[in-house]
Chain A
Amino acid sequence: MKAFAQLIKTIDSTNKTNKKVDALADYFSTAPNNDKVWTIAILSHRRPPRPVNTTLLREFASALADIPLWLFEESYHIVGDLAETIALVLPNVESSTDKSLSSFCEDLLALKAESEATKKAYLTEHWTQMDYYERFVFNKLITGGFRIGLSQKLMTRALAKATELDEDILAYKLMGNWNPAKITFQELILEENKADYLSKPYPFYLAYALEENISDLGNPADWSAEHKWDGIRSQVIIRDGELFVWSRGEELVTDKYPEFEEFVEHMPDGIVLDGEILAYPNNEIGSFKDLQTRIGRKNVSKKLLEKTPVILKVYDLLELKGEDIREKPLAWRRQELEKLYKKFQNKISVFHLSEEIKFNEWEELIAEREHAREIKSEGLMLKKKNAHYGVGRKKGDWWKWKSDPFSIDGVLTYAMRGHGRRSNLFTDYTFGLWDDEKKELVTFAKAYSGLTDKEFKELDAWIKKNTLDRFGPVRSVTPHHVFEVAFEGIAKSKRHKSGVATRFPRILRWRKDKKLEEANTLSDLKALIPK
């Protein structure tokens, strides 16, 4: 644990990506093998399931720190991170422990089933043997969410450096379902094992947002365009007579979409499709909101299946006849995909093709993007015809070119302190719109992003001086500042007081030029809902 805590401390004390990767590569070269496996697991979001709930953690920690629970809670609101708060409020100690990272992880796996008293005794014992960083890391193992500015991609790079294996191959090995408590470093990283690969998806290739002018992309003939579908990015794998559905978050979601069994009933083995899961009520593409009724439900009822069926809008083919074809150019993969589609479209009703948009000039695409919303698309995707299928987010070959967002001018009404790098700063905002009489502001959206650090700082200082009331971590503020709030989608909602739900709201700009009265009304917002 000491070595792992030291690693996190080193990573924490630099802002430079290369230094972080170097520190991790050093660790991978020296740590015991089972600690390496757990480190990989932790940095790829496979920590042990939470053994102690956060309510108990707070109680145990405030008892040990000898402070009342309310004072612990107040501290937590300000620090903005539970693991960090606990590490900070606990008294510093003289004793120490040499227990390894992997044995702590194993302890935590076993602790889940223990009684409350045993949990308290275990945590108290170990908290009093750790310094600040060890405590912080230990708490993070329990609460999850290791955000240390080191993505899975960078972790993979460090591992490649330490093992001298290819980075893309490692990325592939680390995908899918593996259990850090059962697998050895040898099995996970070093061995070639065909059977393990049965369910494994390929790393998803991700697009960057197009910010430059479309014509800067060069010759239109080099590019393929299609609509950008607003669903769940997924890979559908058919191997050895089995179906595996993976979402982009590397989650195996096969059980959630029983209608996809159709693929395995008709298609031969050795096929991997890349596409978007979309809701398809009444034989037409639904909204993301429709799809949300399916996400997060493991046991899908018959009624729900009928009400909100799904389809797979396929746009790429990654494996054919058991062969990894990601190195082939897009145009070739597209051709093979269309052949498959022709062959199976009548047999597999959930198999839909994301059609290529035919165009000769960029102007035609500009026009197409204008009416993307009408067909429930978020905008366009542009892919280079001669590009292979990459790993992760790389600039150059794939671009997403979303429709311009909706936007409306709202008034800042409430603020809450942020988390992580925004801890102790009021950066989480609630916005209101005027009712029709312009008497009252009705909450319509919350937004956390879109301001510069300088603007956040300025607004934070203003909020502290213009607080009307405090409700725990939330402060109501004098209605004064108007912000242009952008969002991707809008739909009617019974769950929201405003009667409207917006998707991915964020701040577009601070309208210092607008007076309070000039903010929009709820009716203005409702007028944006697609008919």
Chain B
Amino acid sequence: MNSILYILVLSMSTPLLIFNDKGIYCTAANVYIDAWKPVDNVIITHGHADHSRWGHQRYITHHHNIPIIKHRLGDIEVVGVDYGETFSVNNVKFSLHPAGHIIGSSQVRVEHKGEVWVFTGDYKLDDDGVAKPYESVSCHTFISECTFGLPAFNWRPQKEVFEEINQWWLSNQEEGRTSVLFGYSLGKAQRLLKHLNPDIGKIYTHGAIENMTDVCRQLVEFPATELITRDTTKKDLHGHMVLAPPSAHGSTWIRKMTPYVTGSASGWMTFRGARRRRAIDQGFVLSDHCDWNQLLEAVKNTGCEKVICTHGYTDIFAKYLRTLGYDARTEKTQYEEQED
């Protein structure tokens, strides 16, 4: 089967996008997307470190992603575009479309000689109230991440999850404990912040989250936060909420919150083992990626014939898509599998 595919691919002209040792590459335009090694021209889907790396010559990304990657990468040469705005390089038409993953995240649409490819970057179909919601883009070939491409992953509506999180905060407060909630400093932290109920108490932040949130405040409105500094006392924090990056778990920094209860918001919290391994008290299943059914729905909505599965449970998802009649295969990338 694979060898037949291979011959078929060889017999056609060079594919519009190829996967080489530097990233996803459009030969016709000499442009990379989310390259993992330094290149001249790169389109960046979103601000997470594995997709927007340091060292490229010229960056192209959505307007809203510019302050984010500048915050992370410093003074880079970057051009901003709007969603749906088409720009051409060597007769190849590119445009960015909302991916719903985090603020400023995009899918990349590539069109050449009537053929359309879409690379999703990271994405989810649910409207999280922070990122511009995902929009389906019709294409012939759909390059999809599948971080959670397994039928074991079924997200509940975020309204239910946030009711649970706010309830958790409230009951910790009643027991006289501080709530420490872990989430990545870009994306998850802002999504949590947006939906925490500020009537329950104050929302304190770790420095990494405070800084990134400051950047995001230019683009979206969020409840007030207070940075934890050396002058913050245990008493100040008592019963309130602390947003911290996962790396803060088990650090000396966290001792200041005592007595505290830990929670983590991630798609990986689906697994009991994952929560126990991280020694987290309470896991909340909340992801910025598609779950199993969302992935299937996304593929279907594009009307594509070919699917290329990148990072995640690629083999399994591609195999299942083939049983549904898609021409599906996998490609290796250097995007993190475990990040959420």
A interface residue numbers (CB < 8 A to B): 12-16, 65, 67-68, 70-72, 74-75, 78-81, 84-85, 88-89, 92, 149, 418-425, 453, 461, 464, 470
- Which of B152, B282, B319, B320 makes the CB contact (< 8 A) with A13? B282
- Which of B152, B154, B276, B279 makes the CB contact (< 8 A) with A78? B152
> Do the beta carbons of A75 and B152 come within 8 Å of each other?
yes
Interface check B313, CB cutoff 8 A: yes
> Do the beta carbons of B282 and A88 come within 8 Å of each other?
no
For A74, list chain B residues within 8 Å (CB): 150, 313, 316
> Do the beta carbons of B313 and A421 come within 8 Å of each other?
no
Q: How far is the CB of A262 from chain B (nearest CB, A)?
A: 47
Binding-face segment, B60-68, B98-106, B193-201, B267-275: B267-275
Known: A14-B281, A15-B280, A68-B323. A421 touches B273 (CB 8 A): yes
Interface check B113, CB cutoff 8 A: no
Q: Pick 18 A–B contacts, CB within 8 A, sort by A.
A: A15-B276, A15-B279, A15-B281, A71-B316, A78-B152, A78-B313, A79-B271, A80-B273, A88-B152, A88-B154, A88-B270, A89-B152, A420-B272, A423-B274, A424-B268, A424-B274, A464-B337, A470-B315
For the complex, give the distance between the alpha carbons of A423 and B268 in Å. Answer: 11
List the B residue with the shortest CB-CB distance to A418: B273
Known: A14-B281, A15-B279, A68-B323. A81 touches B152 (CB 8 A): no
For B277, list chain A residues within 8 Å (CB): 421-422, 425, 453
Q: How far is the CB of A140 from chain B (nearest CB, A)?
A: 11
B interface residue numbers (CB < 8 A to A): 150-154, 261-262, 268, 270-274, 276-277, 279-283, 313, 315-316, 319-320, 323, 337-338
For A78, list chain B residues within 8 Å (CB): 150, 152, 313
Q: How far is the CB of B300 from chain A (nearest CB, A)?
A: 16
For B282, list chain A residues within 8 Å (CB): 13-14
List the A residue with the shortest CB-CB distance to B263: A13
Q: How far is the CB of A458 from chain B (nearest CB, A)?
A: 12
> Do the beta carbons of B281 and A79 come within 8 Å of each other?
no
For the complex, give the distance between the alpha carbons of A402 and B148 in Å. Answer: 45
For B268, list chain A residues within 8 Å (CB): 424
Q: How far is the CB of B197 from chain A (nearest CB, A)?
A: 20
20 more contacts with CB within 8 A, not counting A12-B272, A65-B151, A89-B151, are A13-B282, A14-B282, A15-B279, A15-B281, A67-B151, A70-B319, A75-B152, A78-B150, A88-B153, A88-B154, A88-B270, A89-B152, A92-B154, A418-B273, A421-B276, A422-B273, A423-B273, A424-B273, A424-B274, A464-B337
For B280, list chain A residues within 8 Å (CB): 15
For the complex, give the distance between the alpha carbons of A78 and B152 in Å. Answer: 9
* Interface-centre pick from A418, A424, A425, A470 (highest chain B CB count, 10 A): A424
List the B residue with the shortest CB-CB distance to A19: B281
> Do the beta carbons of A13 and B273 come within 8 Å of each other?
no
List the A residue with the shortest CB-CB distance to B277: A421
Q: How far is the CB of B313 from chain A (nearest CB, A)?
A: 7
Q: How far is the CB of B93 from chain A (nearest CB, A)?
A: 35
Q: How far is the CB of A220 from chain B (nearest CB, A)?
A: 40
Q: How far is the CB of A119 from chain B (nearest CB, A)?
A: 23
Q: How far is the CB of A92 from chain B (nearest CB, A)?
A: 7
For A75, list chain B residues within 8 Å (CB): 150-152
For the complex, give the distance between the alpha carbons of A420 and B271 in Å. Answer: 9
For A84, list chain B residues within 8 Å (CB): 271-272
For the complex, give the distance between the alpha carbons of A80 and B270 in Å. Answer: 12
* Interface-centre pick from A75, A81, A418 (highest chain B CB count, 10 A): A75
- Which of B152, B262, B274, B316 makes the CB contact (< 8 A) with A85? B152
For A16, list chain B residues within 8 Å (CB): 281
For the complex, give the distance between the alpha carbons of A14 and B150 in Å. Answer: 27
For the complex, give the distance between the alpha carbons of A72 and B154 in Å. Answer: 14
The 5 closest A-B pairs by CB, nearest first: A423-B273, A421-B276, A88-B152, A421-B277, A421-B273
For A15, list chain B residues within 8 Å (CB): 262, 276, 279-281
> Do the beta carbons of A424 and B271 come within 8 Å of each other?
yes
Known: A13-B282, A14-B281. A71 touches B271 (CB 8 A): no
> Do the beta carbons of A71 and B272 come within 8 Å of each other?
no
For the complex, give the distance between the alpha carbons of A80 and B274 in Å. Answer: 11
Q: How far is the CB of B273 from chain A (nearest CB, A)?
A: 3
For the complex, give the distance between the alpha carbons of A71 and B270 in Å. Answer: 18
- Which of A89, A92, A419 makes the CB contact (< 8 A) with B273? A419
> Do the beta carbons of A71 and B320 come within 8 Å of each other?
yes
Q: How far is the CB of A109 from chain B (nearest CB, A)?
A: 27
For the complex, give the distance between the alpha carbons of A70 and B277 in Å. Answer: 27
Q: How far is the CB of A166 from chain B (nearest CB, A)?
A: 29
List the B residue with the shortest CB-CB distance to A87: B152
Q: How far is the CB of A344 from chain B (nearest CB, A)?
A: 50
For the complex, give the distance between the alpha carbons of A265 and B127 in Å. Answer: 78
For the complex, give the distance between the alpha carbons of A85 and B152 in Å. Answer: 7
For B150, list chain A residues within 8 Å (CB): 74-75, 78
For the complex, give the distance between the alpha carbons of A16 and B313 in Å. Answer: 33
For the complex, give the distance between the alpha carbons of A470 and B313 in Å. Answer: 13
For B319, list chain A residues within 8 Å (CB): 70
Q: How far is the CB of A465 from chain B (nearest CB, A)?
A: 9
* Interface-centre pick from B151, B316, B319 (highest chain A CB count, 10 A): B151
For A81, list chain B residues within 8 Å (CB): 272-273
Q: How far is the CB of A146 from chain B (nearest CB, A)?
A: 12
Q: How far is the CB of A379 from chain B (nearest CB, A)?
A: 32
For A425, list chain B residues within 8 Å (CB): 277
